Amino acid sequence: MKSALYLCLLLLGLQVQGQQQEQQILHSPEDQSQAEGENLPHVKIASSNANFAFRFYKQVREEAGNKNIFFSPLSISTAFAMLSLGARSNTLRELHKGLFFKQTEMEEQEIHEGFQHVLQLLNDPHREVQLNMGNALFIDNRLKLLEKFLDDVTNFYYSEAISSNFQNSPEAIKEINKYLERKTHGKIVDLVKSLDPATMMVLVNYIFFKGSWEKPFNNLNTRDRDFFLDANNSVKVKMMHQEKAFNIHRDENLSCWVVEIPYTGNVTSLFVLPEEGKMKQVEDALLKETVSNWMESLKKRKIYLDLPKFSVSGSYDVKSLFEKMGMTEVFSDQADLSGVAEETLLKVSKAIHKATVDVRENGTEASAVTMLEITPFSLPFPPPPRIHFNRPFLIMIIDKTTHNMLFMGKIVNPTARED
């Protein structure tokens, strides 16, 4: 009988706030030469992380039915990549395959160096955006971790190692929940409800993002409007409005609009609005190449933009989802996590993930900025399109510094609060 390694994947409080700021967006690594950039470990893993994100999304979609979806693919990838430091033989191969890390393209060392660099860049205190990502190991005082595993999780993943007494389960639960609440600024509360009696370690990843729109919405323009859940049902939402120039793309093949709404601090969001009845077609086409094509095809154009305010969350049993994606061994008695601890056979007994998102006009701080926008005269142009997010849409939040997708979701009902 194996002792249980309880792997807890935790996420994030994500709050999008539009506080008007004068700072310019930072330059991304794309400003470096293409060849140099593609060889950086964090750029190499970004491709794998994107493939994993869309695969995981499609698995979640199968079970979500007509519910909102929201999760952090980077949080999940990071937690399992960190765990893979202690995995061996087929367990390691299965994890790498499930996370889309190809041994032919990347050495194992490069994978961990990639995440190390991502963590450094995301947590850079000089960034304009409030973005924190980190890891922690809560370790039972009866478990003796191997020195190499402890060194590696500390060096590559900057993980904190916290001694815990899992024999006193209520106290351990309280300690973990308090830690997560603090790290997500109160957004994730009481995530851990219970612990397996055999738990010897809890592995945690958290990510917190609070972004300010580069172009905040004016709350005086927010109105009550209908949001159409489907052809026959609608709900009232607070609809924000702007008439400004945004990077947009009309994908005629997939029948959808793509609008880029950037934040200060080199983080951006893509809002994807399929035509009525075309959501599944767009979701089926979600691949790294599709999104890359959208990004490359964006053109700046004035639009009438309507976007609902919303606050939604999602909770996921990652163990169940991973097993359906073919990653089963790490959760079974065949698990080989012999690189984690001395003389203790371990497996993952539970893996959970929770994410929240709050999108609104701007923050509560008052600020005044005078800006004159000078544009060249042009020949008569067709009237600006109205892109009205009044039906289900997709959202992706991308960190342009590391090329990683921080969050991804589908908003089916902006008024629903289900977990």
Residue 107 in any domain: the answer is yes
Hey, what are 219's tokens?
A: 């709350």
pLDDT of residue 38: 65
Closest CA to 10 of 99, 84, 72: 72
One domain for residues 246 and 336: no
CATH of the domain at 39: 3.30.497.10
In terms of domains, do 231 and 269 share one?
yes
Examine residue 52 and state whether it is found in any structural domain, yes or no. Answer: yes
Determine the straight-line distance between the first and last CA of the chain, rounded to whole angstroms. 33
- 44 lies in the same domain as 177: yes
CATH number for position 243:
2.30.39.10
Does residue 375 lie in a domain region?
A: no
Per-residue pLDDT of the chain (419 residues; tens, 9 = 90+): 444 444 444 443 344 443 333 322 233 444 444 444 667 888 889 999 999 999 999 999 999 988 999 999 999 999 999 999 999 999 999 999 999 998 777 889 999 999 999 999 999 988 888 888 899 999 988 889 999 999 999 999 999 999 999 889 999 999 999 998 898 888 888 888 888 888 888 888 888 888 888 889 998 899 999 999 998 999 999 999 999 999 999 999 999 999 999 988 889 999 999 999 999 999 999 999 999 999 999 999 999 999 999 888 888 889 999 999 999 999 898 999 999 988 888 888 888 888 888 888 852 222 222 223 333 334 455 678 999 999 999 999 999 999 999 999 999 999 987 55
pTM comes to 0.88
> Are 393 and 337 contained in the same domain?
no
Same domain, 64 and 12: yes
Q: 104 is in which domain, residue-wise? A: 3-212+311-358
Task: Specify if 26 maps to a domain.
Answer: yes
Q: Are residues 304 and 315 in the same domain?
A: no
Residues 34, 117 within the same domain: yes
- Looking at the structure, tell me whether residues 171 and 266 fall in a common domain: no
Q: Could you tell me if 298 and 336 lie in one domain?
A: no
Residue-by-residue DSSP string for 310-369:
EEEEEEEEHHHHHHHTT--GGGSTT---TTTBSS--EEEEE-EEEEEEEE-S--S-----
Q: What distance lies between CA 342 and its chain's CA centroid? A: 34
Question: Do 299 and 340 fall within a single domain?
Answer: no
Question: Which stretches of 254-301 are DSSP H helices?
Answer: 279-284, 288-297
Classify residue 89 as left (phi > 0), alpha (psi -120 to 50) or beta: left
Report the SS3 class of residue 138.
strand
Residue type, 14: L
Question: Which tokens go with 82?
Answer: 């960190």
How many domains does the structure of the chain reveal? 2
Asked if residue 298 belongs to a domain, the reply is: yes
**Residues 332-361 pLDDT 10s:** 989 999 999 888 888 888 888 888 888 888
Within this chain, do residues 197 and 270 fall inside the same structural domain, yes or no? no
Partnered with residue 250 across adjacent β-strands are: 257
Count of other CB atoms within 10 angstroms of residue 167: 12
